[in-house]
Amino acid sequence: MKYAIIKHSGKQYKVSEGDYLNLDRFEAEKKDTVEVSDVLAINDGELKVGAPFVEGAKVVLEVVNLGKDKKVVIYKKRRRKDSKLKRGFRREYTRVKVTSIVG
């Protein structure tokens, strides 16, 4: 099974062909193709590890959807102080499908 480890927006992901990922929102529209050249490692029977990136390797992604995740609630309470804080946010993401791994 061929897989790669890529770096996108400061995070690392292990991907295989046909996988779906929720990446942090970036500027793209549906059915756009995005090439990620920040490939840290590729395994296609033999492991190739970059220093820091594998030369000539890239992962092609297709944008499937744009959306928002479920709400994350941040609640802070300080005991005996009558102090509490409740905040929340919904992370925006770009859903992509891995179409091919080259390298």
Residue 48: the pLDDT is 93
- Longest Cα separation, the chain: 60
Using alpha carbons, list the distances in angstroms from residue 66 to 41, 83, 103.
27, 37, 28
Residue 1: the pLDDT is 85
Using alpha carbons, list the distances in angstroms from residue 1 to 37, 53, 80, 88.
20, 21, 56, 39
Using alpha carbons, list the distances in angstroms from residue 5 to 8, 41, 53, 101.
10, 5, 10, 10
Read off the pLDDT of residues 25-76 as tens digits, 9 standing for 90 and up.
999 999 999 999 999 999 999 999 999 999 999 999 999 999 999 999 999 9
Q: What is the pTM of this model?
A: 0.82
Interval 15-34 mean pLDDT: 95
Domain locations in the chain as residue ranges: 3-102
Residue 103: the pLDDT is 81
